[in-house]
Structure 1
């Protein structure tokens, strides 16, 4: 009888282990879908020098492309394919490692490309010219008193990680201090109340959406991708700053607060709506915000900040939904909202609709997939 109980316990135990193991996406499949989505993009946009022509001409080192290269560099980190490195390096070199509005720009969208410049430099730090322009621009921001540059929450992702990267690279506290001052102003002081509603755990996109602005259902307007930008920025900053950085716990607290809020408003199908608190206002699946939430949650689980049992099922449900419902056989990524700042912008958002800019959606997806691939 005792042997029977031992065997029964063994089968239950091994069965449980087997089930738990199977909940993680297969690494080969995860890599394959990332390669497919990225391959579609690199083939369609093989000439990285061509500017965009939506309304006006914009060079290819604008923020949308900068976000794509953030994702590509993450993919390169787990799959160092020479074509990926060359595609990024040649793009940066074509733009002379500069920003669309020059070294004197304070605009976070202009700074976004600098994240990839720094990543490329860190791979082979032999040519200081690779980071000279972005460092000059960030140093100008650091050495001047203004802290109100990031008046829209997208800016937090576009620029904030650069300060963290330079702080790590140089060991100089001034980058961390300025980063916090600017983040805190956007978070808690801009337009008197700041952009972060700690009660709901989510961010208003800019002062246009602070109360008394309401969604059609009477809720505050929390734009999915805008919150995704902040969520991703916190991850990218926490990945760089030291364990004893004086504001690290403040960033962690905001990350945990957001995680709890995002978990509550996930759709049944795994995606998130463009409007997080009003599914009736241009409701439906949306990939870019969803991908950023997956990126943050999986990183949080891997880093031990988020409870694995509570948050991993949320993130994997979203990842599996994107892979199943958004990725076309040829690698095109559906359900990506076009550029804008609120639910009504960049519509329609459908499986077949092509957003005005395809690049940032791919970048967000690659960031998410890379974190999923690293799961054990």
Structure 2
């Protein structure tokens, strides 16, 4: 009898110890503090939203990296409607006269990314000039039968949400139908999606027989993260009765199920999803994008909370505790590129060629984790 009582006591002690070791998400106020901190760092560094960005060359600030930041800023503004955030975004649009990089004739998805924020700002305060160029550019694409523009997977995040937004804004399904055709061209005809692994090759350069050093296929973390974000943001804007909605839901579910098992024990994802030894280490942007998708999926009832919450919690705590500097700078951020070797080395103190898209990814993820904490 005494030995049985002792066994019960030991079991209770072990359970208590395991519960104390289990990670938990912080409070909403703590999440908001980190969103505000990281964003303040960036706004202080770039007080003029229209200032050109200079790295290896000079570029206008309506390029894709900055546009992704503004996606995140708009999510922060939705949760914390500080007029300074709205004014900062509007000043960015006005600095470029609500135009696109390479003008309305462009068909390039990177150049369309700014349109996501232009449309969001138009929905807050309708002004025709805000959507004039982005709608004209998309309409110009639709005047042709060409649908093979998106030949790299990052393009899905940059441009798909714009088509969904225009469908929602105008009620015209021609935009969502063309989006579906272009998406399916990337997925099926170009063959960038692997139906077996439920992950995407970044572009045709990485199709088999290309291999990582360990002999596996190359699935770049942030590239697949962009597709996750594309599905989330497309589903956010797409009408509920869209006939292709299930395709995007299923894609999100398949990808996140595949990435769930690839998470590192510390909560991050490696830059190479199937070769953890190829430039192994913590990386913030891909991790934030997977976190964004998982948290959004749970919030919207598309993913099982019990299954995904441990991964969500680990990923959030990893970024919050290990990536964010005291001044709001984000560490462990891989620079621009298209594969694991680009932008290396990635460390706590390394400086990528562009910081803006990483913050955008973090703010998108944080906004959904914020909604998750109730």
Q: TM-score, normalised by structure 2?
A: 0.93
- 2:221 corresponds to: 224
- Say which SS state the counterpart of residue 182 (structure 1) adopts: helix
Unaligned runs of 5+ in 1: 1-14
Are the equivalent residues in 1 in contact too, given 2:220–2:340 (CA < 8 A)?
A: yes
Kindly state the Cα deviation for residue 240 of structure 1 after the two structures are TM-superposed.
1.2
- 1:154 corresponds to: 154
Matched, 1:185 2:185: yes
Matched, 1:373 2:370: yes
Matched, 1:169 2:156: no
CA distance in 1, matches of 2:308, 2:26: 15
Q: What do you get for the CA RMSD once the two structures are aligned?
A: 1.4
Kindly state the Cα deviation for residue 344 of structure 1 after the two structures are TM-superposed.
0.4
CA distance in 2, matches of 1:54, 1:296: 30
Kindly state the Cα deviation for residue 143 of structure 1 after the two structures are TM-superposed.
2.5
CA distance in 2, matches of 1:369, 1:89: 22
* Stretches of 4+ aligned residues off by more than 6 angstroms: none
- Say which SS state the counterpart of residue 267 (structure 2) adopts: coil
CA distance in 2, matches of 1:261, 1:352: 30
- 2:232 corresponds to: 235
Kindly state the Cα deviation for residue 198 of structure 1 after the two structures are TM-superposed.
1.5
Are the equivalent residues in 1 in contact too, given 2:50–2:91 (CA < 8 A)?
A: no
CA distance in 1, matches of 2:79, 2:359: 17
Deviations 1:77-106 (A, max 9, x none): 100101100110001101000011000000
CA distance in 2, matches of 1:56, 1:331: 26
Are the equivalent residues in 1 in contact too, given 2:25–2:317 (CA < 8 A)?
A: no
- 1:74 corresponds to: 75
- 1:327 corresponds to: 324
- 2:57 corresponds to: 56
- 1:301 corresponds to: 298
- Say which SS state the counterpart of residue 178 (structure 2) adopts: helix
Kindly state the Cα deviation for residue 279 of structure 1 after the two structures are TM-superposed.
0.9
- 2:136 corresponds to: 136
- 1:31 corresponds to: 32
Matched, 1:42 2:43: yes
Are the equivalent residues in 1 in contact too, given 2:192–2:200 (CA < 8 A)?
A: yes
Are the equivalent residues in 2 in contact too, given 1:180–1:247 (CA < 8 A)?
A: yes
CA distance in 1, matches of 2:304, 2:148: 35
CA distance in 1, matches of 2:357, 2:200: 20
Kindly state the Cα deviation for residue 259 of structure 1 after the two structures are TM-superposed.
0.8
Are the equivalent residues in 1 in contact too, given 2:331–2:350 (CA < 8 A)?
A: yes
CA distance in 2, matches of 1:87, 1:100: 19
Deviations 1:85-132 (A, max 9, x none): 01100011010000110000000000000000001000011x101100
CA distance in 2, matches of 1:245, 1:130: 26
Aligned mate of 2:264, from 239, 263, 267: 267
